[in-house]
Chains A and B, each alone.
Chain A
Amino acid sequence: MSYRVKRSEFDDILSKLQEDYKIYAPTRKKDKGTFSDTDLVLYDRVSSLEEIDFNSKTKYSPKEVVFPITQTLFYFNGDEYIEAEDKGEKVLVFLRPCEVNAFKRLDKIFLENGPQEDIYYKRLREKVKFVVMECTEGFDSCFCVSMGTNETEDYSIFIKVSDEEVFCEIKDEKLTEVFADQESTDYTPEFIQENKQQVEVPALEDITTDLFDSEIWKEYSKRCIGCGRCNTVCPTCSCWTMQDISYQDNENIGERRRVWAGCHIDGYTEMAGGHDFRTTYGDRMRFKTLHKIYDFRKRFDIDMCVGCGRCEDVCPQYISFVGAIKKLNQAIKEEKNNG
């Protein structure tokens, strides 16, 4: 069922939704960007249409909603372990189709991989509903169409904003009530069909361990500086590290947390005594690239990368992920010609 809502009335809908849901959406933090007098666009709580930035790509993805940057797992009190409380709040996230698809990738790791589900992820994830923002233009660095992540059917609301109105398709019956007074319309969602960048990911059987030593990665040893931005902005990077702390005012009490980790960042593979496995940035680039477009697919049948282009947007060394995939394709071609 689709509705058209006057922009001026949309805030009423948002406030009704807020009775049951925390609402997250792309929003602009004035002057909070890395460089002075630049803004930071990221996902955060919003309560009005005005606060939602429909036109910018956020620097960070919505993954924080289910995979917080710092998350307390449990508290220590003497010998006792006390599980961090589940606030149980329901969440609505305004996001783009590629980002809905990114959640599917996180689900694979946190809910399917290994012997047990990750309860901390699960208890947040279960309470999330998606409001997909129509995205038919994309941005310069997007390549979601190539990754097959430009479309999604998994949403509660699909929304398109114009200067005057907001068009909404409601799939989730529980939410229709809020729209009851609105005029119905025949709006159907559209998805982007062509990005400015295209890339073809290699077939699984084309990747051999010979390619792990390929010259193409060496270039990145010279270019990448291991800053980790490509990991932190990625909607599908799911790595983390455990940390224990004790409170400064009472040494008996403390907590065990997890925080995001990234395979480009120093220490990711470092073991006690300093033994480290991927010391060159070229090796890290190879490891990340293959995780995103090869070995995740080998394990779960879908590529990890959803083609959002964020890693390219933020790289201070102008390393393009599409560029890396293209180099890999070239190396495969050469390998085949030689072999």
Chain B
Amino acid sequence: MVKNPYIPTAVEIISIRPESEVDYTYRLAIDLDVDNGQFVEVSIPKVGECPISVSDFGNDYIDLTIRHVGKVTNQIANLEVGDKLGIRGPYGNGFPIEEYQGKDLVIAAGGTGLAPVKSIINHFYRNPEEINSLTLLLGFRNPANILFADEIAKWEEADHIDVILTVDEGDEEWAGNVGLVTGFVEQINFTDLANKEVVIVGPPIMMKFTSLEFMKHDIKEEQIWVSFERKMSCGIGKCGHCKMDDTYICVEGPVFNYTKAKNLVD
């Protein structure tokens, strides 16, 4: 019998880690063949389903970093270690990390946009020889919203990684950068232009203006990669919700080169 693409596999939660007040990382016991940037459809029976990026993965687990914002995600907030989540996927295309080999890679992430790129960062964190340099430009709304704080600290330690961390609004204890991600683009080293690849993931407005900012520094469209978030119901090109022009974000995306992304109109 053909496998029913809509029936999830029930997977056990093996750990839950708070990242902020509303974001939690769930580690699920599943051996899944995932690419960086792909997503899975996560579900709770009788509640619903939603697409969530795989924020990290290993041989026998995947991590999902989930913000509690609606019907399904709020219900996930009530789950505990040992409970199960329905999973199907992985879906979508993921980032072409083979194209980043040996390059000066810049990853600009805004808010939860860090989740889908975290596994790439960790990949190059663990394999420094695969890359020439890695610069992270990470923006959050405020210090309380900073995700993966201990991992960011770990990346900051690494010799081959530069981290620029900024928040839109600081607070009394915050001693770091304040301001939008776009304002920090110029701090990046723009010497060997041809060897650069830029990954930008975040809210639509952030992706748009950050891309323009990089292009002002003569980064070509072909060097920029973004990841789209659109309403999804099926994740496999059937339900229509995610379509933009002739492109299904769930199938050909969510990751697009800017040359393609710029022509995708809602």
Contact = CB atoms under 8 A, between A and B. Distances in A.
Contacts of A221: none
A115 B251 contact: yes
Interface string A205-244: 0000100100000000000000000000000001111111
B266 A298 contact: no
Given A119-B5, A295-B246, A76 B266 contact: no
A269 interface: yes
B8 A81 contact: yes
Interface string B84-119: 101000010000000000000000000000000000
A238 B239 CA distance: 7
Nearest to A243: B48
B196 to A, nearest CB: 26
Interface stretch (A54-62, A106-114, A164-172, A325-333): A106-114
A76 B44 CA distance: 10
Interface string A56-88: 000000000000000001101001010100000
Given A76-B46, A114-B250, A261-B239, A272 B69 contact: yes
B230 A240 contact: no
A83 B46 contact: no
Contacts of A272: 50, 69-70, 73
Interface in B213-266: 229-231, 233-234, 236-241, 243, 245-246, 248, 250-251, 263, 265-266
B183 interface: no
Interface string B11-28: 000000000000000000
A8 interface: no
A183 to B, nearest CB: 45
A186 interface: no
A114 B240 contact: no
B7 A271 contact: no
Contacts, number: 124
Contacts of B2: 117, 119
B46 A254 contact: yes
A263 to B, nearest CB: 7
Contact of A269 (B47, B49, B230): B230
B69 to A, nearest CB: 4
Contacts of B230: 269, 271, 277
B139 to A, nearest CB: 18
Size bin of chain B's contact surface = 35 or more
A46 B202 CA distance: 54
A277 B264 CA distance: 12
Interface in A116-160: 116-120
B4 A299 contact: no
A298 B250 contact: no
B6 interface: yes
A268 B239 CA distance: 11
B266 A242 contact: no
A256 interface: yes
Interface string A2-25: 000000000000000000000000
Interface in A290-329: 290-291, 295-296, 298-299
A291 B2 CA distance: 30
A245 interface: yes
Interface in A239-277: 239-246, 251, 254, 256, 258, 261, 263, 268-273, 277
A241 B243 contact: no
A114 B236 contact: yes
Central interface residue in B47, B245, B248, by most chain A CB within 10 Å:
B245
Nearest to A269: B231
B10 interface: yes
B265 A242 contact: no
Nearest to B3: A116
A99 interface: no
B82 interface: no
A113 B234 CA distance: 12
Contacts of B69: 272-273
Nearest to A213: B265
19 contacts: A81-B45, A81-B86, A83-B4, A83-B7, A110-B238, A113-B238, A114-B248, A115-B91, A116-B236, A119-B4, A119-B6, A212-B265, A238-B240, A240-B233, A243-B48, A244-B43, A254-B45, A258-B239, A299-B246
> 7 shortest A-B CB distances, which residue pairs?
A114-B237, A239-B240, A254-B46, A295-B246, A272-B70, A246-B46, A277-B266
